[in-house]
Every structure is written in structure tokens, then in C-alpha cells.
């Protein structure tokens, strides 16, 4: 079992964990932060926290929801830190050439549901609309409609009630529809229309 291997410190378990969760966590954090360099830092911090804390994981939720909770919290922490400090920072040098992040090391990054939707233009419009959403609603919509977590898993990840999850998803989807109204062709919008909350 993966969890037992992680607790025992087996390298193969760490490799399996990264193979299984690296891409989904990168995708989630990127959609919450919308900045590749911030995302790389946050994802690295997520896995460091997972590796350091796996011994104290009590199993009250699934390993997946525990990792997603760490990722969402880390994205929020990064966003808060950068919003406080970004205005004070001045870049003195250009980014180093050849620098890499997690995204560059993925063997098979796969395609997100957005990329499969209805083309690059629709994908771009939807991503732009997601950026305009209130972060509270964006997180819920991303976890449900992109990461395909169940309502119960989202409640565990965000540590909120099931009713609050459904409300945030409903309000987030409604905001997305309003933002996208008139921007997408009717056929394009239908390809991404999420299922209504149960």
C-alpha cells in the first residue's frame, strides 16, 4: 500500500506518489494561482509538506483529499504572500536560462478537460473567465469540474460543509456563465457546461 510505503520511507513509494499526484496537483495549483513560477514553488512546497507530514496523517480522510487540502492551503498561502510582497519586489536580473520547474519534468502531462473541450480559443476564454471568479468559488469549481473530485471530497479538502460546497459550486458556475455569456459560440459553451449540483 502506498501510505505504508511512504511511512516506511521507501523511495519507490515516493516515486509512486509523485507519478500519481504531481500532474493533478500542478494543474490545480496553477489554476488557483495563474502564475507558472509561483505554481512551481507552491507544488514543491506541497510535496515537501506531504513527505514531512505523512507520518502524522491519521487517515480521517483519503490520502488524495489530504494532499489536495495541503495543495489548496499552500496556494492560498502563496497568493497571500505574493499579494503582500509583490509590490515591494523589483527584479534585478532576468530569469535564469535553463531553470526548470515541476511542469518541465513531467513525463506525460496529459490534457486537461479544458484542452479536450472545444479548441484553443474556447479554452483560453474559459481560463480567463476562471481567473475573474472570486477565489472561493474558483477553488470549488476547479476541484469539481476540472479535478473531478466528489462533493464529499471537496468538503474534506476545504474543510467546509457539503451544503457550502454545493452552494459555492453553483455560484461559481453561475458567475462563469455570466462572464462567458456572448463570448463563446453556443456549441462551444455546451461542451463545457458542467452538470448541475445534486
Task: Calculate mean pLDDT across residues 80-84.
Answer: 65
What is the CATH T-level fold of the domain 119-193, as seen in this structure?
Arc Repressor Mutant, subunit A (1.10.10)
pLDDT score recorded for residue 190? 37
pTM of the model: 0.60
DSSP string over 76-120: HHHHHHHHHHGGG----SPPPTT---HHHH-S-----HHHHHS-H
pLDDT score recorded for residue 21? 94
d(CA 159, CA 119): 35
pLDDT score recorded for residue 115? 44
Instruction: Pull the grid cell for residue 136.
Output: 472561493
Instruction: Determine what percent of the chain falls in helix, strand and coil, rounding each to the nearest 5.
Output: 75, 0, 25
d(CA 43, CA 171): 28
d(CA 19, CA 57): 20
How do the domains of the chain map onto residue ranges?
Answer: 1-84, 119-193
Q: Are the C-beta atoms of residues 187 and 118 closer than 8 Å to each other?
A: yes
Query: Over the stretch 4-57, which tens digit does the pLDDT of each residue have?
Result: 888 888 889 899 999 999 999 999 999 998 888 889 989 999 999 999 899 888
Residue 153 clears pLDDT 80, i.e. is over it? yes
Query: Over the stretch 86-139, which tens digit does the pLDDT of each residue have?
Result: 544 444 444 555 444 444 444 444 544 444 444 667 777 888 888 899 999 999
Task: Calculate mean pLDDT across residues 156-180.
Answer: 91
Residue 76 clears pLDDT 60, i.e. is over it? yes
Residue given cell 480521517 in the structure block: 60
Residue 154 clears pLDDT 80, i.e. is over it? yes
Q: Is it true that 1-84 and 119-193 share their CATH fold? A: no
- Please give the CATH number for the structural domain made up of 1-84: 1.10.1740.10
Amino acid at each position: 500500500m502506498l501510505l505504508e510505503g511512504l511511512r516506511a520511507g521507501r523511495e519507490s513509494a515516493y516515486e509512486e506518489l509523485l507519478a500519481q499526484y504531481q500532474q493533478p496537483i500542478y494543474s490545480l495549483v496553477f489554476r488557483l494561482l495563474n502564475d507558472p513560477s509561483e505554481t512551481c514553488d507552491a507544488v514543491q512546497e506541497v510535496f515537501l509538506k506531504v513527505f514531512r507530514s505523512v507520518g502524522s496523517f491519521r487517515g480521517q480522510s483519503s490520502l488524495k483529499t489530504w494532499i489536495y487540502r495541503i495543495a489548496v492551503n499552500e496556494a492560498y498561502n502563496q497568493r497571500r504572500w505574493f499579494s503582500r510582497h509583490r509590490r515591494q519586489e523589483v527584479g534585478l536580473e532576468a530569469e535564469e536560462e535553463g531553470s526548470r520547474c515541476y511542469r518541465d519534468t513531467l513525463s506525460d502531462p496529459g490534457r486537461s478537460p479544458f484542452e479536450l473541450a472545444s479548441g484553443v480559443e474556447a479554452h483560453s476564454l474559459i481560463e480567463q473567465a476562471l481567473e475573474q471568479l472570486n477565489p472561493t468559488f474558483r477553488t470549488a469549481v476547479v476541484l469539481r469540474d476540472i479535478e473531478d473530485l466528489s462533493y464529499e471530497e471537496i468538503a474534506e479538502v476545504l474543510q467546509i460543509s457539503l451544503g457550502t460546497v454545493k452552494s459555492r459550486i453553483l455560484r461559481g458556475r453561475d458567475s462563469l456563465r455570466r462572464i462567458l455569456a456572448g463570448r463563446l459560440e453556443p456549441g462551444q459553451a455546451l461542451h463545457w457546461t458542467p452538470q448541475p449540483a445534486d
